[in-house]
Amino acid sequence: MSNGPDGSSAGADHIPVSADDTAREGDGAGLTGRAAPLEVQDLVAGYGGVTALHGVTVTAGAGAITAVLGANGAGKTTLLRAVSGMIKPRRGRVLLDGTDVAGRGPEQIVRAGIAHVPEGHGVIAELTVEENLRIGMMSWPSRLARRRAPESQRADRAAALDEEFARFKPLADRRRKLASTLSGGERQMLVIARALLARPRVLLLDEPSLGLAPRVMAQVMDLVVRLSRERGLTIVLVEQNARSALSIADHGFVLNLGRVVASADAPTLAADVALRHHYLGF
């Protein structure tokens, strides 16, 4: 485990790089001049007779980290599941670069450019590390669709794999081992690497720090920051741990009982004592 690039962990003194925030509560407008890659508008979703989201509007700025916060049952996970197609929204739109993908299946939405790392158990323990990563490339266009020689496609895939192995050294060392042999932090690396292999424009992360030791958690947060800064990836980060999420996020939305109750840039949310006590628990 050594992926802290410059030793700087996600500290409270981190300074977000986004432009001035202009979003108001429930306001779907873009954060900056650039169009937001992901705009969720008035989303209603739930399970069976239960409605978990009552018209949620959330915008994720290009190349920024957008934190979605709130207590248990606030609807954070449901929001990600509705965006990635795991559940069908009953109403509302999910705009990916202006195209509404709401209602499509997850296997289509990942092809459109949204990768979702669900909470917990995202590693397939019965498969090897490399096999887990190869699954990340299943959304790539098939041989027939691309009309390219199988050899060059194989080379593309091998190169993409090598890139992730170079980024995540501990995974490279265990390439042929079963994923069940990995530590918690390595598992989190594996699922994030697998999501990256889908070459998404938007990455949805559900509680990446769940169950990790504080030091490992800091490394994972650090990784999330680097993905945003270095790759320009648009990241939506759902976290129970609001303090550490806000320390790396550019913007934050607070959900409560399926509604957005606050939306502001991360430092503003972190400075709002009443909001923190009320909804964020710190």
Q: Which residues of this protein are in contact with other proteins, per CB under 8 A? A: 84, 86, 105-107, 110-111, 115-116, 118, 121-122, 124-127, 131, 134-136, 138-140, 194, 198
Q: Between helices 184-197 and 214-231, what is the axis angle to 10°?
A: 20
Quote the tokens at residue 255. Answer: 């959900």
Measured from the CB atom, the residue of 2 and 142 that comes closer to other proteins is 142
Q: Supply the minimum distance, in Å, between the C-beta of residue 44 and other proteins.
A: 21
Which of 213, 203, 199, 136 has the alpha carbon at shortest distance from 171? 136
Provide, rounded to whole angstroms, the least separation between the CB of residue 103 and other proteins.
15
Provide, rounded to whole angstroms, the least separation between the CB of residue 125 and other proteins: 8
d(CA 170, CA 31): 37
Residue 14 DSSP one-character state = -
The three-class DSSP label of residue 51 is strand
DSSP E strands, the chain: 38-47, 50-60, 65-69, 91-96, 99-100, 114-117, 202-206, 234-239, 251-256, 259-265
Least distance between other proteins and beta carbon 196 (Å): 12
Q: Which is nearer to other proteins, 37 or 118 (CB)?
A: 118
Residue closer to other proteins (CB basis): 31 or 115: 115
Q: Please give the single-letter amino acid code of residue 1.
A: M
Closest distance to other proteins from the beta carbon of 162 (Å)? 18
For other proteins, the closer CB: 119 or 272: 119
Minimum CB separation from other proteins for residue 168, in Å?
17
Nearer to other proteins, 84 or 188 (CB): 84
- 118 vs 252, which CB is nearer to other proteins? 118
Query: Mind giving me the DSSP string for 218-279?
Result: HHHHHHHHHHHHHH--EEEEEES-HHHHHHH-SEEEEEETTEEEEEEEHHHHHH-HHHIIII
